Amino acid sequence: MTAEPWEPGVFRARIDEILHRFVADEADLLVEVDPSLGPVAAQLEAAVAHGKRLRAAFCYWGWRGGGQPDSDALLRAAASMELVHAAAVVHDDLIDASALRHGRPTTHRALRDAVPHHPRAGAAARSLAMLVGDLLMSLAGQLFVTSGLPAAYLSRARPLWAALARELVAGECLEILRTGAVPDTAESLKVVRYKTAKYTVEHPLLIGGTLAGAAPRLSEGYSAYGLPLGEAFQLRDDLLGLFGDPARTGKANADDLRGRRPTALLAETWRLADRVQRGRLAALLDEENDDEGGGEDRGEDAGEGRGGLDEVRALMRGLRAPERVEAMIAARVEEALGALDGLDAPPATVAALTSLAHSASARLS
């Protein structure tokens, strides 16, 4: 049996059409409440304007792996995974006080123009952004349950939806709780798993498979593939966050350092450093945080002008920390691909998941 070709561009266009139409309709309903909500509605649409649509793809192939055919209803259900991601991005940018996303102002930055006369404009814009993220998460559930799939199918997936939301919030909370603590690789990898890995790959696959009525053995295979690949995806993000080209990533290079986020890259650097190197690294991190509270008002690469960012990069390279993270990525991709060898799924699904593993882990943005 020959596997049908996986055409990511065609798939993305189908998901984009669903998302843009659905969110545009919701934005119109929001403005009907009051015209002053126009900027909020615009940010609702902006939140879904871009994306690789990986989460939708994993949900789709989880369904196809369960023996089900292509389905417009399933595509709508899969698109809801992208609304979860959009909500997570808005909230994450808000928590991290990030200035840029996809090369454009983040939601809380863009919404400052909506409150020019507010006595606390920055706080008001952040509150509006929080509500945009909340609405996106609500819309994800709405799109899922109105996808057109049978109610019995949707009911099967309800526990997984609850787990997705709970573990995503748990991961974000763990990152906040561990920010600024002594870097620890094991703790960082736990944040990676819960904040990103599970909702990016494992849960979408499991939800798609559960909707299709997949057998337990297939679901186990999905987890064996999805967890390591999701971790590889976020570890790549950590590297791109500091060493990537901002013109490609659309984000500021200094964000992770400025926020002292507990990335595996920082943890590995700390683990490999000697006492003197740790002292210098701590001093550089303190410099990046010397005006805490005003972080979102600084330039995209705060610290780079005084050489702090370049010095941290040089220290990391000298200790070969990026190579350590690359090795982690390679090991996890190998583990994920190995899980496909025993996956009881159609050839088309195995071929698509193989392609997705490479595009998720070897990317420039």
Helix, strand, coil tally for the chain in percent (to 5) = 75, 0, 25
Are 257 and 312 contacting, i.e. CB atoms less than 8 angstroms apart?
yes
* pLDDT tens-place string over residues 84-94: 999 999 999 99
pLDDT of residue 244: 86
* pLDDT tens-place string over residues 271-323: 999 999 999 999 988 876 654 444 444 444 444 444 688 899 999 999 999 99
* pLDDT tens-place string over residues 236-262: 999 998 998 888 877 777 777 877 889
Task: Tell me the chain's radius of gyration from C-alpha atoms.
Answer: 21
Q: Is the dihedral of CA 91, 240, 273, 255 positive or negative?
A: negative
Q: What is the dihedral of CA 143, 149, 153, 157, to 10 degrees?
A: -20
Mean pLDDT of the chain: 91
pTM of the predicted model as reported, rounded to 2 decimal places: 0.92
* pLDDT tens-place string over residues 321-350: 999 999 999 999 999 999 999 899 999 999
Q: What is the dihedral of CA 113, 118, 123, 129, to 10 degrees?
A: -40
pLDDT of residue 138: 97
* pLDDT tens-place string over residues 113-162: 999 999 999 999 999 999 999 999 999 999 999 999 999 999 999 999 99
pLDDT of residue 288: 61
CA distances from 68 to 62, 232, 348, 352 (A): 9, 28, 12, 15
pLDDT of residue 85: 97
Q: How far apart are CA 140 and CA 132, in angstroms?
A: 12
pLDDT of residue 285: 85
What single DSSP character describes residue 298?
S
The domain containing residue 223 runs over which residues? 8-361
- Which of the four pLDDT bands, split at 50, 70 and 90, describes residue 6? confident
Count of the separate structural domains present in the chain: 1
Residue 102 falls inside a structural domain: yes
* pLDDT tens-place string over residues 170-193: 999 999 999 989 999 999 999 999
Residue 125 falls inside a structural domain: yes
Q: How far apart are CA 212 and CA 202, in angstroms?
A: 15
CATH code: domain of residue 304: 1.10.600.10
pLDDT of residue 293: 43
Supply angle C-alpha 130, 364, 245, rounded to 5: 80
Q: Is residue 3 scored above 80 in pLDDT?
A: no
Q: How far apart are CA 130 and CA 230, in angstroms?
A: 26
* pLDDT tens-place string over residues 62-90: 999 999 999 999 999 999 999 999 999 99
Q: How far apart are CA 102 and CA 81, in angstroms?
A: 19
Residue 344 falls inside a structural domain: yes
Residue 1 falls inside a structural domain: no
pLDDT of residue 83: 98
Residue 186: CB atoms within 10 Å: 8
Residue 156 falls inside a structural domain: yes
